[in-house]
Amino acid sequence: MEDVEAVARCLEGEKDAFEFLVRKYQAPLLALGANILGNLEEARDVAQDVFFQAFLKLGDFDRGRSFKNWLYTIAVHKCIDRRRRLHNFLRKVAGPGGAPAAWTGAVSGRQGANPEPPAEGQDAAKTDPGRSPAGSGILGGRVDRLLGRLSLKERTALVLSAVDGYSAAEAGRIMNCSENTVRVHLFRARAKLREYRKENEDALRTI
Asked if 193 contacts 139 with a C-beta cutoff of 8 angstroms, the reply is no
pLDDT in tens, 7-49: 999 999 888 899 999 999 999 999 999 888 888 888 999 999 9
The DSSP bridge partners found for residue 132 are 135
SS3 of residue 134 by DSSP: coil
SS3 of residue 48 by DSSP: helix
Determine the Cα–Cα distance for residues 86 and 176; give it in Å rounded to an integer. Answer: 21
Write down the CATH number for the domain with range 3-204: 1.10.1740.10
Successive 10-residue mean pLDDT values, the chain, 207 residues: 91 90 94 88 92 92 91 93 72 54 42 34 34 41 67 90 90 93 93 80 54
pLDDT in tens, 175-188: 999 999 999 999 99
Determine the Cα–Cα distance for residues 170 and 193; give it in Å rounded to an integer. Answer: 23
SS3 of residue 178 by DSSP: coil
